Amino acid sequence: MHTALDTLTGILGDVTDLDHTASLLEWDEQVKMPPGGATTRGHMTSTIRRLAHERFTADDVGALIEQARAETAGADPSSTPARLLTVTARDYDKARRVPAAFVAEQARVLSASQHAWIDARAASRFEAFRPHLERVIELKRQYVSFFPPGAHPYDVLLDDYEPGTTTAEIQALFEALRPRQVALIRAIAERPAVDDRCLRARWPEADLDAFSREVVTALGFDWTRGRQDRSVHPFATGIGPHDVRITTRYVEQEPLSLLFGALHETGHALYEQGIDPAVARTPLGRAVSLGIHESQSRLWENLVARSRPFWQHFFPALRARFASALGDTDLDAFYKAINRVQRSLIRVEADEATYNLHVMLRVEIEIALIEGRLAVADLPEVWRTKMREYLDLDPPDDARGVLQDIHWSGGLLGYFPTYTLGNVVSAQLWDAFGREHPARDLDIARGDFATLLGWLREQVHRHGRMLTPQQLVERATGSPIDPEPYLAYLEEKYGEIYGI
């Protein structure tokens, strides 16, 4: 017998296919598309996003949700059908508030904005990007207006990436992190600097790319369901669990950013590849939140790939391939070099101790933009002021200042807080895995990553949106989201490196 739930699931599959098509177009736009294709691609993406929105928000979808609820009345709330209806109803309510014409216009504006950002960043000219960003901010404020007034307008944007989390909660998290991170940074500043000259040597790009692919393979990335390319800014795109794309980039002044960028995006990709295929063409077949997503990228990039056991395994191969760059650098010196703490201009190249300060700066700016307290025209100077305040640095140009991140050009306001949430959750997951698997470090030192990946598959990846972010964290770690394990991890790690 064909049920309302069956009909609804079919429609949701069509909508998911359209969303995946748009994601593929957007990936191609950043990686393969010739520059002259920007206008045409903007129209294509706009049309696909509008069609997906119109189909999902149609009246019959709402009616089917209610009929399916009646059919499944009394079902276990944690069952797949019940959870599917809960998540779909929430998404439907949010999407119905946003006109399809707005969705199409925003997609077109964001496509043009991202190309303008690429050119402006290359020329280090914020003024060339400013009118595009002003339009993006206008649209974000308009988007907020579609929803009932809440405690803070930024809550609406944050909810798109971290469902149920509020601006007040993020600000409270920052307040918990800031004092101890600042104290740690000051204590490190009083110690002798780590010798990181080996990282400034010449590391051939082609060899680094080949080595990074070997490491990504060892971690468990499935190349039959994924690929790696280059882009201006590293990112990961999931087009369902069977097609996951990652990108990286080579920075001559920071050559190993290619490797660590690839490992960061691999963390995202492993999550996408691990979602249960049974829910792939439904709203359940996505990551539960960007904070949880970032916990995976930060866990593999930092807690695994910047650990001593990791390099006990990989350093001999690295040394053999890059003998001229490493010289007489031994494992201990290399480990300290890749974990050096220094105030830096660029967020994606920041060390673990200072990274959250970069996030806090951006979130403060986003909140001020949405509140209307800050004009886009004033952004470069405000950025410089906050960089001096947070990191005692003065960006010499816009490319290394306000133009460094792709997020605002893509309309991703509300995304930045998820990086800090990801840092916090990554440490909780790492601790929980270590409690269950006391041989964790020994496994990593001998190149066995399958046990960790299997645990993450079970505790995080496979669930998609079957659990809420808090439910997932509590189930995996035994406690709600808590900054203490992350702070303890930083203090122990850098205390040992710097002799604090």
Rounded to 5°, angle at Cα 367 from 363 and 369: 115
Choice among 26, 265, 301, 366 that is catalytic: 265
Q: Are 305 and 269 in contact (CB under 8 A)?
A: no
Which alpha helices (DSSP H) does 290-416 contain, by range? 290-298, 308-321, 323-326, 331-338, 352-371, 379-391
The 3-class secondary structure across 135-196, one letter per residue, is: HHHHHHHHHHHCCCCCCCCHHHHHHHHCCCCCHHHHHHHHHHHHHHHHHHHHHHHCCCCCCC
Using DSSP bridges, classify how beta strands 226-230 and 244-248 pair: parallel, antiparallel or unpaired: parallel
What is the token pair recorded at 440?
A: 């964790």
- Residue 230 has φ and ψ, to the nearest 5°, of -110, 150
DSSP at 378? G
- 22/293 Cα distance (integer angstroms): 20
Reported as type and span, the H/E element at residue 493 is helix 484-498
For residues 219 and 213, what is the distance between their CA atoms, to the nearest angstrom? 10
Rounded CA separation 341/344 (Å):
9
Report the C-alpha dihedral over residues 434, 272, 409, 100, rounded to 10 degrees. -130
User: Which of the 8 DSSP states describes residue 375?
Assistant: -
Q: Which amino acid is at 246?
A: I
Q: Tell me the three state secondary structure of residue 441.
A: helix
| 492: annotated active-site residue | no
Show Cβ contacts of residue 210 under 8 Å, excluding neighbours closer than 6 positions.
Answer: none
Identify whether the C-beta of residue 110 lies closer than 8 Å to the C-beta of residue 411.
yes
Q: What are phi and psi of 466, to 5 degrees?
A: -65, -25
Residue 215, amino acid: V
Q: What angle do CA 153, 155, 160 make, to 5 degrees?
A: 120
In degrees, to the nearest 5, what angle opens at C-alpha 259 toward C-alphas 264 and 181?
55
SS3 95: helix
Q: Which residues are catalytic?
A: 265
